Amino acid sequence: MSEPFGARLAAAVAGRGPLCVGIDPHRELLAAWGLTDDVDGLRRFTDAVVGALAGTVAVLKPQSAFYERHGSRGLLVLEDAVATARDAGALVLLDAKRGDIGSTMAGYADVLAPGHPMQVDALTVSPYLGAGSLEPAVRTARAHGGGLFVLARTSNPDAATFQHARLDDGRTVAQAVVDQVGAWNAPDWLVGDPAPDPAAFADLQGRWGPHTGSVGVVVGATLTELDVDLAGLRGPVLAPGLGAQGGTPAELRRLFGAGRAVVPTVSRDVLAAGPDPAGLRAAAQRWAAELGG
């Protein structure tokens, strides 16, 4: 990949709109499509979604767990889908929420490296073993132009138990995650050890130009309020929860305002329109129009 993920994401959104469609072939959805809950049904579902959407949607986000549950044959379906989607111009964000330490984290991050049989554009990761646990993934992403989306302020009911916990400096855990991602997105000349004060990034916001950072955060689109400060992020926000989970374009604008690189995610409200390819495309187009893409 010749350009960093942040630049490729900006180009994809400019050309196709900001919509990200999740690919979540769970057993209930396979049944709703009249498909069997096996590798054959998984392949038929995946091929239909990728064939209908990869040529027009900016980002496709397959959920790794629904392929892993079918073993090695399921992963082969995912591998083929990733290659097909990227060949059609879509960016592929693998939703795997990896989080570990040392060589194990580096192994997970290898999906961002050229030559990997399932090379993707970006990967979701969890920071809750400490920010340092993600350093191998950050290094791999930087080396190969890949992207990361770090869980920061999710909107599942139990999330606040940990994400609102306070550090000694008064910040919430969620805010500390956002600040660390901002440090990873800093220009090389600002990165040092220790990481620079997050307030410095906000002060320099006007000199940095457009959002081109390749490390983003995950912030739920169904939060009642935005309780993290994203001013120093300098990267994209992945905002899941639109549609069936209750999020709306109006709520998205209320939470994040204008001028921020937000990638809203819709899954069930698009996938429910299948298996007809025209229905899938029409559902995605409706969401893209509502989102202004």
Signed CA dihedral, 172, 178, 184, 189: sign only: negative
In the beta sheet, which residues pair with residue 62?
A: 23
**Any idea which residues carry the catalytic annotation?**
97
Residues for the chain: how many in total? Answer: 293
Two structure tokens written together for 104: 């194990």
Query: Could you give the count of Cα atoms lying within 13 Å of 92 in the half-sphere of its Cβ?
Result: 26
In sequence order, which residues have a C-beta less than 8 Å from that of residue 193 and are 6 or more positions away?
none
Q: What stretches of the chain adopt beta strand conformation (E)?
A: 20-23, 59-62, 91-98, 122-125, 147-153, 215-219, 237-242, 262-266
- Interhelix angle 39-53/71-87, nearest 10 degrees: 10
Two structure tokens written together for 12: 């994809």
d(CA 170, CA 173): 9
